[in-house]
């Protein structure tokens, strides 16, 4: 005999359609009933659209997040000898920050359980980048992860399918119904997985700009505030930085080349923007974990963070000294005039790297680890005609034309002037619990 359901789905859809408020019991039933297949996809699609159009208040977003967490497993790091701190980035072009950041923070005795994903579309995935390293494996059981956190301090691995399965189903539905861009839905989707992961400190890197999910700072700020409130309500010490994604981060866009750049940062060098963001996020995570005075800059210069990186890679079967793949073919793009580089838009560079093979169009596609773009200059640089601007790399030369097509109009050299994308600072704001 089937159980009697306590609500009628259509009543709940009507409530949200008419700008009403859903109760805790209604939200938790809806999410559970959708996950077990009682609420149909078309009903949930109508609900997602009503939420996108009419929003949700703080209690409803909290209820939605908790209901999604309740559909799956919840990890716990209780009993670890180290405090835990995690970071989540909403994703951008050239965003390899997790790679130097996790070992840097772990080198201060904090456990960094970094459950990561693979890339889809123009933003890269942390696991794809690390899989450029010979032998490195993304899959760890919960027990292996716990052991690695205890012994090394940092583990970057694939998120199992057990965390918030309702989110997985709902995200796939949002993707095909034009309902991805709703702040309550994005915030609950991200935070359900992060809270279920069981960290005690969470630092969010919420990106804004052409290469980000949120194009403008105002909406990015609203998303950040919503997520910080959700984390705080769930007992996680949560804060957020709003960071600029109008230009690619660093000089490398791809997989193996982003690992190379991360290792430069761990060796005390690397591009200024990658170093600044790594240091700022590390300070924020360590301060949340009770070490506000940790000298993170020194830990990069002294090799302390590099030692943890090497141990972290080796613990997952990787060879930190192994050769990273190099593409068979490359194509240089040169300045066609003297002047100042005033613009370099993140989104087209992300699309071009993807077309070179660095990203995937469908979940099941492989990525080509050696493919990508290496920038030689960033906005603000003075260039002379014939100077190298950037180099494209791919295994198949047929890929260059489509990548170059994506880059038409994506960068600009002017006689003089202020670089457009540099008018926003790299770190535009810092949000803490209200
Ligand atoms: N990432 C997620 O996990 N969920 C969203 O809704 C958007 C980005």
- Residue 88 appears among annotated catalytic residues: yes
Q: Nearest residue CA, atom 5 of ligand 1? A: 186
* C-alpha–C-alpha distance, residues 259 and 156, integer Å: 14
3-state secondary structure of 403: helix
Domain with CATH 3.40.1030.10 in the chain: 85-322
Q: Pick the catalytic residue: 88, 122, 129, 169?
A: 88
Whether 190 lines ligand 1, by a CB cut-off of 6 Å, is yes
Compute, in angstroms, the gap from residue 223 CA to the centroid of ligand 1: 11
> Read out DSSP for 141-169?
-HHHHHHHHHHTSEEEEEPPTTS-HHHHH
Compute, in angstroms, the gap from residue 118 CA to the centroid of ligand 1: 13
- Residue 174 appears among annotated catalytic residues: yes
pLDDT the model gives residue 1: 46
Whether 186 lines ligand 1, by a CB cut-off of 6 Å, is yes
Contact criterion met (CB below 8 Å) for 342 and 414: yes
Candidates 145, 151, 142; CA nearest to 81 is: 151
Whether 170 lines ligand 1, by a CB cut-off of 6 Å, is no
Contact criterion met (CB below 8 Å) for 325 and 319: no
Candidates 73, 27, 41; CA nearest to 184 is: 27
Contact criterion met (CB below 8 Å) for 227 and 115: no
Q: Nearest residue CA, atom 8 of ligand 1? A: 186
Contact criterion met (CB below 8 Å) for 169 and 177: no
- Residue 430 appears among annotated catalytic residues: no
- What are the angstrom distances between the C-alpha of 303 and each of 107, 264, 281, 299, 348? 10, 11, 19, 6, 35
pLDDT the model gives residue 213: 85
- Residue 11 appears among annotated catalytic residues: no
* C-alpha–C-alpha distance, residues 251 and 208, integer Å: 19
Candidates 52, 59, 75, 48; CA nearest to 22 is: 59
Atom of ligand 1 nearest to the CA of 190: 3
Compute, in angstroms, the gap from residue 202 CA to the centroid of ligand 1: 16
The third-level CATH classification (topology) of the domain covering 329-414 is: Aldehyde Oxidoreductase; domain 3 (3.90.1170)
Pocket test for ligand 1, best of 189, 223, 230 (most atoms within 8 A of CB): 189
Per-residue pLDDT of the chain (434 residues; tens, 9 = 90+): 467 999 999 999 999 999 999 999 999 999 999 999 999 999 999 999 999 999 999 999 999 999 999 999 999 998 999 999 999 999 899 999 999 999 999 999 999 999 988 876 777 799 999 999 999 999 999 999 999 999 999 999 998 778 999 999 999 999 899 999 899 999 999 999 999 999 999 999 999 999 998 999 999 999 999 999 999 999 999 999 999 999 999 999 999 999 999 999 999 999 999 999 999 999 999 999 999 999 999 999 999 999 999 999 999 999 999 999 999 999 999 999 999 999 999 999 999 999 999 998 777 788 999 999 999 999 989 999 999 999 999 999 999 999 999 999 999 999 876 665 455 689 999 999 97
In the Cβ-directed half-sphere of 160, how many Cα atoms lie within 13 Å?
15
Q: Nearest residue CA, atom 1 of ligand 1? A: 190
pLDDT the model gives residue 362: 77
Q: Pick the catalytic residue: 16, 174, 221, 399?
A: 174
Compute, in angstroms, the gap from residue 139 CA to the centroid of ligand 1: 21
pLDDT the model gives residue 419: 61
- Residue 18 appears among annotated catalytic residues: no
Whether 182 lines ligand 1, by a CB cut-off of 6 Å, is no
**CATH number of the domain at 85-322, out of 3.40.1030.10, 3.40.50.1360, 3.40.50.720, 1.10.10.410?**
3.40.1030.10
* C-alpha–C-alpha distance, residues 316 and 297, integer Å: 26
CB atoms within 10 A of CB 20: 12
Question: Is it true that domain 9-70 has CATH number 1.20.970.10?
Answer: yes
Q: Pick the catalytic residue: 116, 182, 189, 239?
A: 189
pLDDT the model gives residue 220: 97
Compute, in angstroms, the gap from residue 360 CA to the centroid of ligand 1: 17
DSSP 325: P
Whether 171 lines ligand 1, by a CB cut-off of 6 Å, is yes
CB atoms within 10 A of CB 49: 18
- pLDDT tens-digit series, residues 92-146: 999 999 999 999 999 999 999 999 888 767 777 999 999 999 999 999 999 999 9
End-to-end CA distance of the chain: 48
Q: What pTM was computed for the model?
A: 0.95
Pocket test for ligand 1, best of 56, 90, 166, 190 (most atoms within 8 A of CB): 190
Domain with CATH 1.20.970.10 in the chain: 9-70
Domain with CATH 3.90.1170.30 in the chain: 329-414
Compute, in angstroms, the gap from residue 292 CA to the centroid of ligand 1: 30
């Amino acid at each position: 005999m089937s159980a009697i359901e306590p609500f009628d789905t259509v009543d709940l859809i009507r409530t949200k359609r008419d700008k009403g408020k859903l109760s805790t019991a209604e939200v938790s039933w809806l999410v559970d009933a959708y996950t077990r297949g009682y609420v149909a996809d078309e009903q949930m699609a109508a609900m997602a659209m009503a939420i996108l159009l009419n929003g949700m208040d703080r209690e409803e977003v909290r209820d939605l997040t908790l209901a999604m967490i309740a559909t799956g497993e919840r990890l716990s790091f209780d009993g670890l000898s180290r405090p835990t701190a995690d970071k989540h980035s909403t994703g951008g072009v050239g965003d390899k920050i997790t790679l130097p950041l996790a070992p840097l923070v772990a080198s201060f005795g904090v456990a960094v359980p970094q459950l990561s994903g693979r890339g889809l579309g123009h933003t890269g995935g942390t696991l794809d980048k690390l899989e450029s390293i010979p032998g490195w494996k993304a899959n760890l059981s919960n027990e292996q992860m716990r052991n690695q956190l205890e012994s090394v301090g940092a583990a970057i691995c694939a998120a199992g399918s057990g965390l918030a399965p309702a989110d997985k189903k709902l995200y796939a539905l949002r993707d095909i119904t034009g309902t991805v861009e709703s702040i309550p839905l994005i915030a609950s989707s991200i935070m359900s997985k992060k809270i279920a992961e069981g960290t005690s400190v969470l630092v969010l890197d919420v990106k804004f700009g052409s290469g980000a999910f949120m194009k403008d700072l105002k909406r990015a700020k609203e998303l950040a505030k919503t997520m910080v409130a959700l984390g705080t309500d769930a007992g996680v010490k949560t804060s957020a930085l709003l960071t600029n994604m109008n230009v690619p981060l660093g000089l490398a866009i791809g997989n193996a080349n982003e690992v190379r750049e991360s290792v430069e940062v761990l060796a005390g060098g690397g591009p200024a923007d990658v170093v600044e963001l790594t240091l700022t996020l590390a300070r924020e995570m360590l301060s949340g974990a009770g070490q506000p005075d940790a000298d993170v800059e020194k830990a990069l210069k002294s090799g302390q963070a590099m030692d943890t990186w090497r141990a972290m890679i080796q613990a997952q079967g990787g060879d930190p000294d192994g050769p990273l793949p190099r593409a068979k073919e490359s194509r240089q793009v040169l300045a066609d005039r003297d002047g100042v580089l005033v613009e370099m838009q993140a989104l087209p560079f992300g699309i071009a790297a993807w077309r070179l093979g660095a990203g995937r169009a469908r979940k099941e596609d492989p990525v080509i680890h050696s493919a990508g773009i290496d920038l030689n200059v960033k906005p603000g640089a003075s260039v002379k005609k014939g100077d190298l601007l950037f180099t494209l790399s791919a295994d198949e030369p047929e890929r260059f034309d489509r990548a170059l097509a994506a880059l038409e109009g994506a960068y600009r050299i002017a006689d003089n002037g202020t670089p457009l994308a540099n008018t926003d600072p790299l770190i535009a704001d810092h949000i803490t619990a209200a």
